[in-house]
């Protein structure tokens, strides 16, 4: 195994994406996301994705040189067309106007369309919280979940994330969860290692439960909590696809592989300035709420595991499989 610093990770991701044909600005935005994923121990969204990103730039699934177009449609609505490029630079392009609109109006929304995988959604929510705002984020994905009782995927794993500001320019807690029992990236990771998956994660193409990761990728992910999980996925679909003006999950090309062209998916971010609503009471209530969780033995706040990981990884670095490192170097 090889150890890399977070700066090494940033440089490796940036150089690889530029080598594949991405502009320096777009490569930098995606590299930042890669660093955050590795820093927090979310390996499935870190360096593992870099050769996939590079492959997709080369085959045209992502326009690595796209320049996002930002519109302020109304005082509290920011709309970004990613132009089939990466989601990260599109979000960056509209972010400052989005935050300014929130602080002016008390609440605002940022939507992106014609975009791509935005990485760890919780990081975008946390970025909003670092501005002293409550962040609620939605992103959809190519269809991989069938409705309960069916076997044909209609929605994606469709995560949502919520981050709440603390009093120290950070996040008091971060909720980041998908509509599926497990993130699809975890199944992709298992498939790449020829490892089995849990029997409650997915169905094969015939609608039968499976522990074969590769068969699961040809079938359907199972929604968390059955019909309730599917309902959460529909909520995200409406916000990130319908409201944002992106393709429906069922019409989007897959994030994996080279077939199908740009997925043209979308994101929707909402931000709330607590001073426009409950003011100081918000801090008081959040403090009491988090304390009620943390004081219980064995309980932990959502997002606390990531915080613990980042402290260790910032100090000790990232452990990388040499095989993955070689794949990354060859993909640029």
- The alpha carbon of 23 is separated from its chain's Cα centroid by a whole number of angstroms, namely 21
Closest C-alpha to 10, from 40, 36, 44: 36
Single out the catalytic residue among 23, 38, 45, 124.
45
CA trace torsion 325, 326, 330, 331 (10° rounding): -40
- Catalytic, 44? Answer yes
- The catalytic position among 15, 44, 55, 205 is 44
Residue 283 tokens read as 């801090």
How many C-beta atoms lie closer than 10 Å to residue 268's C-beta? 24
Q: Is 15 known to be catalytic?
A: no
- The helix or strand, by DSSP H or E, that contains position 11, with its residue range, turns out to be helix 6-20
Q: Residue 184's CB: how many other CB atoms inside 10 A?
A: 24
**Distance separating alpha carbons of residues 72 and 60, to the nearest angstrom:** 29
| Residue from 38, 186, 237, 331 carrying the catalytic annotation | 186
Q: Strands 171-177 and 160-165: what pairing?
A: antiparallel
Cβ-proximal residues to 234 (8 Å cutoff; 6+ apart), any chain: 155
Which helix (H) or strand (E) segment is 319 a member of? strand 318-320
> Residue 257: left (phi > 0), alpha (psi -120 to 50), or beta?
left
Beta-ladder partners of 4: 318
Q: Are 37 and 46 in contact (CB under 8 A)?
A: yes
224 is catalytic: no
Residues tagged active-site? 44-45, 186
């Amino acid at each position: 195994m090889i150890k890399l610093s977070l700066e090494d990770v940033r440089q490796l991701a940036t150089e690889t994406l530029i080598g594949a044909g991405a502009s320096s600005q777009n490569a930098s935005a995606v590299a930042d996301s890669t660093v955050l994923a590795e820093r927090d121990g979310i390996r499935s969204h870190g360096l593992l994705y870099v050769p996939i990103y590079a492959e997709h730039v080369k085959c045209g699934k992502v326009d690595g040189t796209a320049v996002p177009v930002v519109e302020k449609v109304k005082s509290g609505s920011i709309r970004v067309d990613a132009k089939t490029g990466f989601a990260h630079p599109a979000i960056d392009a509209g972010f400052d106007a989005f935050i300014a609109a929130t602080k002016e109006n008390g609440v605002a929304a940022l939507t992106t369309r014609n975009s791509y995988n935005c990485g760890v959604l919780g990081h975008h929510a946390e970025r909003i919280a670092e501005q002293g705002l409550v962040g609620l984020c939605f992103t959809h994905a190519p269809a991989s979940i069938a409705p309960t009782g069916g076997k044909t995927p209609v929605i994606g794993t469709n995560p949502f994330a919520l981050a709440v500001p603390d009093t120290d320019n950070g996040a008091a807690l971060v909720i980041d969860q998908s509509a599926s029992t497990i993130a699809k990236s975890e199944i992709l990771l298992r498939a790449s290692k020829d490892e089995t998956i849990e029997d409650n994660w997915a169905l094969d193409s015939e609608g039968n439960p499976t522990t074969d990761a590769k068969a699961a990728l040809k079938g359907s992910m199972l929604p968390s909590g059955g019909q309730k999980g599917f309902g959460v996925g529909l909520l995200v679909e409406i916000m990130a696809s319908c409201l944002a003006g992106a393709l429906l999950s069922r019409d989007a090309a897959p994030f994996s592989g080279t077939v199908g062209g740009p997925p043209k998916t979308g994101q929707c971010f909402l931000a709330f300035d607590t001073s426009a609503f409950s003011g100081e009471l918000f801090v008081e209530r959040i403090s009491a709420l988090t304390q009620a969780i943390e004081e219980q033995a064995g309980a932990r706040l959502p997002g606390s595991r990531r915080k613990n990981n980042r402290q260790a990884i910032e100090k000790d670095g990232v452990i990388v499989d040499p095989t993955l490192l070689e794949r990354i170097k060859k993909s640029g």
